Every structure is written in C-alpha cells, then in structure tokens.
C-alpha cells in the first residue's frame, strides 16, 4: 500500500520558469512532510519541510504548499535553474521529532533545460 | 563538519552470503535510521537505532538486523542474501532533542546480489 504517491515520474521545464512537483498521501495521521532532492551517486538532501498546522512554507526559491483536505502537497521552484535537475522525493511522517520514520514517494525526475 | 558517512560504497555478494554495512552519523547526532532504496522506488524504512537499541522497525524480515555502538555509529547486517536484496542502502542520522523532523542521509552503499 503506497501511502505517499508521486504520480509524475518525470518533469521537464525551461530555465527561469516555475517547476511544480506534486505529491499525494493517503494516511490522515501524517502531520509532517518533507521534500528531499537526490543527485546521482549521492544521498537524498533535505530541501524544505512543512508541518500540518501550516499550509505554506517558503525558503528562498522553494515553496511547499499543503492542502490537508485534499491530502495533497506541492513543491514550487521559482525560478528553476539547471542545477535543480535531480530526483525529488516527497516524504511524510507521523508525530513530531527527528526520530520518526519517513515514508517516501517514488520520486519525480526534474530536468531543467537551459 | 563531516556529514553522514557510509562504507563501503559498493559491494557485490552472492545469494546466501551475509553482508555488513557501516554508518557514521553526522556530528552531534544520536539516532541512526536505515533505508533500502530499490531501483525506481523511494527509500523504504528498515529500522532505527537510538541508545544502542532498535526503536522502530519497518516491514523487513529478521534477516535484517542492526547494531548501534556507544559512539552512535551503526551497522546493518543482512543474512542469507536474496537477489531481491540488491538495492541502495541509505543511512540517515538525526538528533532526538534538536527535532525538526529532519534526517540527514549518507551517499549510500550499493549492494548487488548475484
């Protein structure tokens, strides 16, 4: 049972435009969500997170939106840069703290074209 | 400040053998989690160690076991290897007190079972 779903395996955008990566979840107990970026031959790198008590969190070019009623979150990257090309994973957890297991989606490969 | 380090980077084993993977957490971190990432999938939680004890476990058989040492480093052991155990094994560390739900990942160990 896939509790966290990323239905788009890949996304291609032009440099300077907005990239929107989507994630859906089924477990209503999830209360913390994270986005990780992964380059080949490297481990996932933390990008941005959001608690279920918020509906938006911004960090520079990255913004995450959470729609609890739809059980949907999205990551917006504006403007997109070629260095953003990577696999992006959405992850969710139940309960606060850094010790809860993360449930990951299958990832979306983002390609930013110069 | 060294991040999470894992060794070895690559490993080739044959079916039925046993393997040990190693992880050193980020400085200041006391909790280590292990994940398995099969090709085309997101990381799947195996188990988590804190204070030298297994605290949480994902849906993995008993062939997967681990250990945490007093210096917070950790080992993942897999016995009776199966072809399906071929995957990237990721170690993540975090600090139980600092919270923020962020786990920091190493670059992983690529295990191939022939």
Contact of B4 with B103, CB cutoff 8 Å: no
Q: Is the pLDDT confidence value at B31 over 60?
A: yes
Which of A10, A86, A102 would best serve as a mutation to test chain B binding (most B beta carbons within 10 A)? A102
Whether residues B40 and A106 touch (CB distance < 8 A) is answered with yes
Which of A99, A100, A105, A107 would best serve as a mutation to test chain B binding (most B beta carbons within 10 A)? A99
The residues in A 17-76 lying below 8 A from B, measured between CB atoms, are: 32, 34, 36, 41-46, 49
Nearest to B2 by CA among B20, B23, B25, B22: B25
Name the 3-class secondary structure at B85.
helix
- Size of the A and B interface in Cβ pairs below 8 Å: 75
pLDDT bucket at A95, cuts 50 / 70 / 90: confident
Nearest to A86 by CA among A102, A106, A109, A59: A109
Structure tokens at A103: 């449930």
Q: What is the pLDDT of residues B61-75, one digit of tens each?
A: 999 999 999 999 999
Residue percentage of chain A with pLDDT more than 70: 96
Return the pLDDT at A7.
92
Task: Report the DSSP pairing between strands A19-25 and A72-77.
Answer: antiparallel
Mean pLDDT of chain B: 93
Q: What is the pLDDT of residues B74-88, one digit of tens each?
A: 999 999 999 999 999
Q: What residue of A is the nearest CA neighbor of B110?
A: A41
**Cis omega (within 30 of 0) for bond into B8:** yes
CA-to-CA distance for A110 and A43, rounded, in angstroms? 16
Return the pLDDT at A94.
85
């Amino acid at each position: 049972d896939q509790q966290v779903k990323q239905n788009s395996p890949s996304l291609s955008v032009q440099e300077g435009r907005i990239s929107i990566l989507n994630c859906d979840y089924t477990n209503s107990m999830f209360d913390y969500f994270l986005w990780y970026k992964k380059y080949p031959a490297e481990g996932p790198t933390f990008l941005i997170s959001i608690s279920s008590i918020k509906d938006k969190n911004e960090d520079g070019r990255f913004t995450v939106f959470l729609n609890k009623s739809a059980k949907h979150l999205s990551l917006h990257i504006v403007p997109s840069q070629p260095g953003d090309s990577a696999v992006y994973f959405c992850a969710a957890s139940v309960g606060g703290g850094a010790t809860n297991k993360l449930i990951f989606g299958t990832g979306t490969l983002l390609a930013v074209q110069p | 400040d060294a991040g999470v380090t894992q060794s070895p980077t690559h490993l080739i084993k044959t079916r039925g053998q046993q393997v040990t993977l190693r992880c050193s957490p980020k400085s200041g971190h006391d909790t280590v989690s292990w994940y398995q990432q099969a090709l085309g999938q997101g990381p799947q939680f195996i188990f988590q160690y804190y204070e030298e004890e297994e605290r949480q476990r994902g849906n993995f058989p008993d062939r997967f076991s681990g250990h945490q040492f007093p210096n917070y480093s950790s080992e993942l052991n897999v016995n009776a290897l199966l072809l399906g155990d071929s995957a990237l094994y990721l170690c993540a560390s975090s600090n139980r007190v600092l919270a923020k739900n962020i786990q920091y990942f190493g670059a992983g160990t690529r295990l191939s079972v022939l």
